[in-house]
Amino acid sequence: MPTCRLCFSVYNRDQFIHGNGPRAQVCVRCGVEKGLVSEEEAASLYDKSTANARFSAVARRWSPLMWLSVLWIAWIVFLNEVDPWGLYTLILLGIFTLIVPVYMLFFSSKHMAVMARLTPEYERPKGH
């Protein structure tokens, strides 16, 4: 995947402005910030509400893994030495560790549908 030469971020090809010279290998966000293109010319630039909605969708997608890792760390640090509750929470964490990947697999199509709905239409220019 290409890298923006101004911010060094890696994006898909449709997130770059089209052109040669100073516009070559520049992402849409940097192109608008540096004045190389206007917001109307940058069709794949996300407005604030779309960017926030996409970030929220990604956060909802990966939050079960984050919470699972936090719970494992809490068990290792605090609960593993507490006699009855350490074993009970270990069993629950084991069950949740097995359930979370299955849950993420089942709801991956919903996440892809939400991301497709939040992706603006983009017509790739010739030679791009």
Residue type, position 125, single letter = P
So what's the pLDDT on residue 38? 87
Q: What is the pLDDT of residues 73-98, one digit of tens each?
A: 999 999 889 888 899 999 999 999 99
DSSP, collapsed to helix, strand or coil, labels residue 27 as strand
Q: Which residues contact 85 (CB under 8 A, 6 or more apart)?
A: 79
Q: How much is the pTM?
A: 0.68
User: What residues in the chain have per-residue pLDDT under 50?
Assistant: none
So what's the pLDDT on residue 17? 86
So what's the pLDDT on residue 122? 63
Question: What is the rounded distance in angstroms from the CA atom of residue 36 to the CA atom of residue 71?
Answer: 47
So what's the pLDDT on residue 123? 64
CA dihedral 98, 102, 105, 107 (to 10 degrees): -120
